[in-house]
Every structure is written in structure tokens, then in C-alpha cells.
């Protein structure tokens, strides 16, 4: 087997994994703490990519664009919470689903109106566009390595925030008993809005990171959201740690399945049969894994102990 | 009460009569619209059985529409181009049987797993499984993959010619009436009462000794089969099927119909489908960005009108 190819594919899998984590962590935080189902989370990921693309062209710098786009997406997330999510907290999940489904249609159409139907590519600065030479014949793209590092930093930053800071303590307290927390003099509504904004910022960041590779496009949010759902279902809804483990797992399985499943099938079936069946099976692989895990652990790998 | 009953009768009668009249005076467009409406309403009736009466919020029912349509398209494809001889046919009864078998099987297999979970898990898992079907059909090159499959010949059923728009409409309309009646019967039956008992208080039904999981599974399968049948009609109507029909936004639209019309009512899904099809038609004729007003409307309905359209008529 070609180990260079394997290494590259593992790297791609990790990259997909950390991006999935950035999207899924916001979903799982918002669900675990606010008990709110947000289908429109993928649209915020898409907005992140588009806003970053526009700013990159306006400022002529990708790095500046990201730094400026992050707070913009945070504010959009905050406004989303105030106007749509907040009135729905007391309703059942069906209303959350329908309301945020409506929000997807609105956000996607507005994005269509502003940025047009075609995707927008983001040019990378030279210092990010190169390759890192690891050994004689192995080179890794700098930007992909950077995505993994930034994603992992964000993941551990979030785990640290939730588990070891005062804000995180309040968030966890609010999740287990919101009435008690507000009785102790904490402004629970602002706290929830902050959680929502953090989740939106993370999703937007994922969009900004992927856009230079794929380009910012209209369908990207709706493609990622279902996979993010699979991630948080597998990880256990509400668990940030579960989201991290599941995101890396799903990212690796999906990428490696697409790359190597036909070679694997050729071991025990004819080449033609393997080439026909491998794409179908690998496109279903993450759902089959989800089904498998759920039949043993219906609440995911790391079900939160609260509630 | 009398007024409401005659109002419902009036809606059904106009749905039957007006499209045919319009067609006779040369406006066949309205006949197509009504056929599409009936087919979507059948799917909504199927979804309502579990969403409305059973409290199971499935966000993946477009998958069954797609499976039903592919059950027409794939045998017809092989009939024309060869390959897989055991499957190749244009016989409508075989198409319906395949659709029932496949959608029932898909509902059984996914239901076994989905129904172990509740609430949000259930919503997301049904969504994920329908997306799995989406990616499956995208990846099968022989059936057109992303581009979809043109259905060259419609299903052949003795004495009925589906190529005739009026007959296509009449078949769709009478199927709709049949399934509304059937779901009505089910909900009034012992089984239906158990189902709504589960919706209201699952723990209580468990302690009363009912096999809750089994009852939910049967309802889930049945609902899938009804949508699969609607898919057979849809395939015959559009003579084209693509994975895009399975996309989760289609499932969202089906849910919108059921909720807007009013859950757990006989006429609700029909009202919902009428409003949806008219909205889609009117809004998309005004602007290609019709999703914007549609989305705003959806948000408004969720925020301010609870109980759907039926509650306006029945209270």
C-alpha cells in the first residue's frame, strides 16, 4: 500500500473531522444547554464563508478578513437568538424545527440575492498556499495542516471554557437548572444569548476555514448540517467531548471510505463489482456507522449525565 | 358542525370538478396543479398518521416519495435498456408492489433503530437516514446519479391510461380519498386509539401492558408505505425522478403541509397541501426568490399561529 497516499487521506479525514467538530459543537452546546434544535446552524456556517469571501476581496487579506468576520458572525448569531430562538424556547421541538427550517429558506435566499448563485473562491496568501516538507517524498499542504491545528485549538479552548472557567460554570449550571441560576442573580437570558453567539461563531469559523479550499457556495450549509447531526447523535447530544470524538471518527471514516473502500472490496470480489458497489457503500458509510452505534447505545457514545 | 361538514365537502367537490372544467376549456395547467396537489396530499396524509396521531416527528418522509418513484423508474429503465430481467417491467401492479415492499422494508429497518430513540434524536435520525437514501441514489451512476432518471413509459394498469392527464388526475384524486378514508379508519380503530394513547402518555401505555415499540413500528411502516404509494403516482406524473426529490428540504415541506393544515385531523393534510401548492405557485410566479417570503411565512406561522388551518374551521 502507498503510505504517502494513506497519510494524505488521514490528514484529509482529520481536517474534515475538526471542521465537523466546529459546526457540531455549536449545535450540541445550544441543544444541551438551551434545549433548542437549530437547523439553521448550517446556514450560519455558509454565511461565515460568504462574509469572509467578501471581506477578503475588500481588504485584500484573508487573515484580516477572518479576524473581522468572526465578530460579525457572532453578532448575527446573537440577533438570531434574540429574534427567532428566544421566543421558541418554551415551545416543543417541532416548532423549533419548523421555525429554523423557515430561517434556512430566508437566510439562503438572502445569501443568493447578495452573493449570486455562483460560488466565490477565496485566494490564499502565499505564505499559506505552500507545502510543508516532512521527508524526502512527503509534502503536506500548509493550509490543511493549519486548519487542523486551528480546529484542535478551538476544540480544546471550548472544552476549557466549558469545564474550567466561571462562564463555563454558569453555562453548565444554567443547563441543569435555569430557574435556580437566575434566582442567584445571573442574567440567564444574556448567558444563553452568549452561548448561542459562541456556537454561531464556531460554525462561521468552520465556513471561513473551508472556503479557501472548496469556495463559498449556496448549498454548503445544507450539506454540512446533516453530517453534523450524525456527529452529535453519535457523540451524544449535549456533550462537547462526545462531539469531538465523533467528529474525528466520522471525518476519518468518510474520507478513508471514499478513498480506499474499492481497494478493500477488491480483496474479496471482482474488480468490476467492487468499483460498482464501493461508491454506494462509502456514501452510506457514516449513516451505517451511526445506525450501528445507536443500536448498542441509543443515546450516543457520551450521553450527558445531566437531565 | 353542519356548516363545517358541508364546507369540507365543498372543498373536495371543487378539487374534483374545477380542474377538469378548466382542462376542458384549454387551461390544462390547473389540472396538472391539482394532480400534483393530490399526490403531495397523499404523502402528507401518510406523514400525518405518525406525526399527527402518533407524535413521531419524522423529518425524512421525502425518502419514501423518492423510493416509490424509483420503483417506477428503475423497472421501466431496465424494460427499455435491458439488464436485471427479473425487475424489468412496465406493469403498474408490479411497480406498486415493489414500491410497497421497498418503502415498507426501508421503514422497517430504519424504524427499528429510530424508534429506540425519542424527541430530537428521532427527528435527526429520520433526517439522516433519508439523506442516506439521497446519497445512495446520487452514487448509482446507472440510474442517472445526480442528474436523475427519465421515466420513459408510465406504469401500465388495465383499463386505465396514465398518459391521459384527466385519468392521471382521477387516479390521484381517488387514491387521496381512499387514503384519507383508510387513515380515518385506522385512527378510529383499536390500533389507532393505542397510537394516540402513546402520543399522549407513553409511560402510561407501557404500564397498561401495551407493546409501545411494536405499535409505533407498525404505524411507522404503514406511514412509509402510504408515502411510497404517493411516490409511484409522483413518478408517473412527472415521468422524471432525481435524488433532489429525496432532499431533506422536501421532507421539511411535507412537514409544513401537515403542521399548517393541522395535525391529527382528516382534512388537515389536504388543506396544508392546497395552501402549499398555491403558495408555491403564486410566489414562484412573482419571484424566483420565492423561498424568502415562504420562509418568512413559515416563521410567522410557527411564532403566531398554533394548531394550523384546521383549528380555524373546527373551533
Confidence (pLDDT) at A23: 92
Q: What is the pLDDT of residue B311?
A: 55
Kindly state whether residue A126 falls inside one of the protein's structural domains: no
Instruction: Please check the confidence at residue A250 and state whether its pLDDT lies above 70.
Output: yes
Q: Give mean pLDDT in consecutive 10-residue pieces for chain B, a chain of 315 residues.
A: 77 83 82 91 93 88 93 87 76 89 94 85 87 87 83 83 86 93 92 89 88 92 95 91 87 87 84 89 84 86 68 49
In 10 A of CB A267, how many CB atoms?
7
Residue B21: other Cβ atoms inside 10 A: 12
Domain presence at residue A80? yes
Rounded CA separation B37/A22 (Å): 41
φ, ψ for residue A239 (rounded to 5)? -100, 120
B23 compared with A111, residue with greater pLDDT:
A111
Task: Annotate B89-144 with DSSP letters as a single string.
Answer: --BHHHHHHHHHHHHHHHHHHHHHHHTTS-HHHHHHHHHHHHHHHHHHHHH-GGGT
Average pLDDT, stretch A166-185? 84
Would you tell me how many other CB atoms lie within 10 Å of the CB of residue A3? Answer: 9
Contact B186, B222 (CB under 8 A): yes
The region that residue B148 occupies, defined by phi over 0 for left and psi between -120 and 50 for alpha, beta otherwise, is left
Q: What is the ipTM of this complex?
A: 0.81
Domain extent at residue A199: 19-121+166-296
Q: What residues of chain A, 255 to 294, have a C-beta less than 8 Å from chain B?
A: 279-280, 282-284, 287-288, 290-291, 294
Point out the residue among A91, A94, A222 whose CB comes nearest to the CB of B57: A94
**With 90 as the cut, is the pLDDT of residue A246 above it?**
yes
Q: Which among B244, B233, B253 is positioned nearest to B72, based on CA atoms?
A: B233
Grid cell at residue B186: 385506522
Average pLDDT of A272-277? 74
Q: Which of A102, A113, A287 sits opposite B128 (nearest CB)?
A: A287
| Residue pair B96/B234 in contact by the 8 Å Cβ criterion | no
pLDDT in tens, A49-89: 999 999 999 988 888 999 999 999 999 999 999 988 888 88
Of the partner residues A37, A95, A295, the one whose CB lies closest to the CB of residue B120? A37
Phi, psi of B240 (to 5 degrees): -155, 140
> Which residues, at least 6 apart from B220, have a Cβ–Cβ distance to it below 8 Å?
B50, B54, B56, B58, B107, B111, B114, B115
Q: Is residue A10 part of a domain?
A: no
CB A231 within 8 A of CB A21: yes
List beta partners, residue A141.
Answer: A131
What's the pLDDT at B315?
Answer: 39
| Mutation for A interface: B62, B255, B289, B302, most A CBs within 10 A | B302
How many CB contacts within 8 angstroms connect chain A with chain B?
120
Residue A256 vs residues A211, A227, A251, B32: alpha-carbon distances, Å:
22, 16, 8, 46
| Residue at A81 is within a domain | yes
| DSSP character at residue B52 | I
pLDDT of residue B186: 92
Q: Across residues A197-223, what is the average pLDDT?
A: 90
Q: Is the pLDDT of residue A133 over 60?
A: yes
Q: How many domains does chain A have?
A: 1
HEC string of chain A equals CCHHHHHHHHHHHHHHHHHHHHHHHHHHHHHHHHCCCCCCHHHHHHHHHHHHHHHHHHHCCHHHHHHHHHHHHHHHHHHHHHHHHHHHCCCCHHHHHHHHHHHHHHHHHHHHHHHCCCCECCCCCHHHHCEEECCCCCEEEHHHHHHHHHHHHHHHHHHHHHHHCHHHHHHHHHHHCHHHHHHCCCCHHHHHHHHHHHHHHHHHHHHHHHHHHHCECCCHHHHHHHHHHHHHHHHCCCCHHHHHHHHHHHHHHHHHHHHHHHHHHHCCCCHHHHHHHHHHHHHHHHHHHHHHHHHHCCCCCCCCCCC
- Supply A244's cell numbers: 469531538
* Minimum CA–CA partner of B109 in chain A: A291
Identify the weakest region by mean pLDDT among A201-205, A256-260, B39-43, B219-223: A256-260
Do the Cβ atoms of A98 and B259 come within 8 Å? yes
Nearest residue of B to residue A31, measured between CA atoms? B120
**pLDDT at A231 (0 to 100):** 92
Average pLDDT along chain A: 86
Spatial neighbors of A90 by CB under 8 A, at least 6 apart, are none
- B150 sits in which H/E element: strand B149-150
Best A98, A99, A233 member to test B by mutation, with max B CBs in 10 Å, is A98
Q: Is the pLDDT of residue A280 over 70?
A: yes
- Alpha-carbon distance of B128 to B120, in angstroms, equals 12
Establish if A153 belongs to a structural domain. Answer: no
Residue A4 lies inside a defined structural domain of this protein: no
Percent of chain A with pLDDT over 90: 27
Is B72:B239 a contact under the CB 8 Å cutoff? no
Q: Please, are residues B245 and B64 in contact by the beta-carbon 8 Å criterion? A: no
How far apart are alpha carbons A288 and A118 in whole angstroms?
A: 33
Domain membership flag for residue A302? no
pLDDT at A17: 93
- The pLDDT score that the predictor gives to residue A307 is 45
Domain spans of chain B? 2-314
**Cβ distance A284 to B136 under 8 Å?**
yes
What are the grid coordinates assigned to A111, written together?
A: 445569501
By C-alpha distance, the chain B residue nearest A277 is B140
Residues of A in contact with B120 (CB under 8 A): 31, 37, 93, 237
Residue A1 lies in a domain: no
- Nearest residue of A to residue B249, measured between CA atoms: A101
What's the rounded Cα separation, in Å, for the pair B135 and B37? 27
Residue A119 pLDDT > 90: no
Amino acid at each position: 500500500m502507498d503510505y504517502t497516499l494513506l497519510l494524505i487521506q488521514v490528514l484529509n479525514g482529520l481536517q474534515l473531522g475538526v471542521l465537523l467538530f466546529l459546526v457540531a459543537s455549536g449545535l450540541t452546546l445550544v441543544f444541551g444547554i438551551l434545549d433548542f434544535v437549530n437547523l439553521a446552524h448550517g446556514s450560519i456556517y455558509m454565511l461565515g464563508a460568504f462574509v469572509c469571501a467578501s471581506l477578503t476581496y475588500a481588504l485584500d487579506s484573508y487573515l484580516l478578513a477572518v479576524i473581522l468576520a468572526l465578530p460579525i458572525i457572532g453578532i448575527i448569531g446573537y440577533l438570531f437568538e434574540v429574534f427567532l430562538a428566544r421566543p421558541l424556547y418554551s415551545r416543543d421541538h417541532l416548532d423549533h424545527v419548523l421555525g429554523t427550517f423557515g430561517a434556512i429558506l430566508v437566510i439562503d435566499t438572502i445569501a443568493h440575492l447578495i452573493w449570486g448563485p455562483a460560488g466565490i473562491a477565496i485566494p490564499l496568501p502565499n505564505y499559506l498556499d505552500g507545502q510543508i516538507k516532512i521527508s524526502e517524498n512527503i509534502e503536506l499542504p500548509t493550509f490543511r495542516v493549519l486548519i487542523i491545528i486551528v480546529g484542535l485549538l478551538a476544540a480544546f479552548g471550548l472544552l476549557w471554557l466549558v469545564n474550567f472557567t466561571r462562564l463555563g460554570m454558569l453555562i453548565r449550571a444554567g443547563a441543569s437548572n435555569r430557574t435556580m441560576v437566575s434566582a442567584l442573580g445571573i442574567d440567564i437570558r444574556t448567558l444563553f444569548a452568549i452561548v448561542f453567539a459562541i456556537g454561531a461563531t464556531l460554525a462561521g469559523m468552520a465556513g471561513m476555514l473551508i472556503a479557501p479550499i472548496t469556495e463559498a457556495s449556496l448549498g454548503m450549509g445544507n450539506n454540512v448540517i446533516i453530517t453534523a447531526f450524525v456527529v452529535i447523535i453519535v457523540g451524544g447530544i449535549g456533550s462537547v467531548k462526545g462531539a469531538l470524538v465523533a467528529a474525528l471518527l466520522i471525518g476519518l471514516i468518510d474520507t478513508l471510505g471514499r478513498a480506499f473502500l474499492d481497494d478493500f472490496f477488491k480483496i474479496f470480489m471482482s474488480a468490476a463489482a467492487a468499483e460498482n458497489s464501493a461508491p454506494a457503500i462509502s456514501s452510506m458509510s457514516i449513516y451505517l456507522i451511526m445506525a450501528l452505534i445507536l443500536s448498542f447505545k441509543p443515546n450516543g457514545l457520551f450521553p450527558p449525565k445531566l437531565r | 358542525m353542519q356548516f363545517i361538514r358541508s364546507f369540507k365537502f365543498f372543498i373536495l367537490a371543487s378539487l374534483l370538478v374545477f380542474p377538469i372544467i378548466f382542462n376542458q376549456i384549454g387551461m390544462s395547467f390547473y389540472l396538472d396543479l391539482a394532480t400534483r396537489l393530490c399526490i403531495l396530499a397523499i404523502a402528507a396524509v401518510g406523514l400525518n398518521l405518525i406525526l399527527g396521531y402518533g407524535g413521531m416527528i419524522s423529518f425524512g418522509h421525502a425518502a419514501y416519495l423518492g423510493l416509490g418513484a424509483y420503483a417506477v423508474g428503475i423497472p421501466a429503465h431496465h424494460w427499455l435498456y435491458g439488464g436485471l430481467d427479473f425487475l424489468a417491467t412496465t406493469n403498474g401492479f408490479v411497480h406498486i408492489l415493489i414500491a410497497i415492499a421497498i418503502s415498507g422494508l426501508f421503514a422497517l429497518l430504519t424504524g427499528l433503530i429510530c424508534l429506540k430513540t425519542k424527541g430530537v434524536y428521532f427527528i435527526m435520525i429520520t433526517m439522516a437516514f433519508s439523506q442516506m437514501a439521497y446519497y445512495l441514489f446520487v452514487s448509482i451512476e446507472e440510474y442517472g446519479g445526480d442528474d436523475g432518471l427519465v421515466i420513459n413509459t408510465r406504469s401500465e394498469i388495465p383499463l386505465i391510461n396514465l398518459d391521459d392527464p384527466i385519468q392521471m388526475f382521477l387516479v390521484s384524486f381517488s387514491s387521496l380519498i381512499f387514503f384519507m378514508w383508510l387513515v380515518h379508519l385506522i385512527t378510529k380503530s383499536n390500533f389507532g386509539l393505542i397510537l394516540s394513547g402513546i402520543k399522549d402518555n407513553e409511560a402510561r401505555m407501557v404500564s397498561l401492558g401495551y407493546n409501545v415499540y411494536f405499535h409505533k413500528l407498525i404505524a411507522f411502516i404503514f406511514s412509509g408505505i402510504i408515502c411510497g404509494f404517493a411516490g409511484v403516482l409522483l413518478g408517473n406524473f412527472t415521468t422524471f425522478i432525481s435524488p433532489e426529490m429525496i432532499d431533506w428540504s422536501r421532507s421539511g415541506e411535507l412537514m409544513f403541509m401537515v403542521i399548517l393544515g393541522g395535525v391529527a385531523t382528516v382534512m388537515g393534510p389536504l388543506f396544508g397541501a392546497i395552501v402549499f401548492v398555491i403558495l408555491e405557485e403564486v410566489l414562484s410566479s412573482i419571484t424566483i426568490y420565492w423561498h424568502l417570503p415562504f420562509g418568512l411565512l413559515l416563521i410567522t406561522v410557527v411564532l403566531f399561529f398554533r394548531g394550523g388551518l384546521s383549528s380555524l374551521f373546527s373551533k
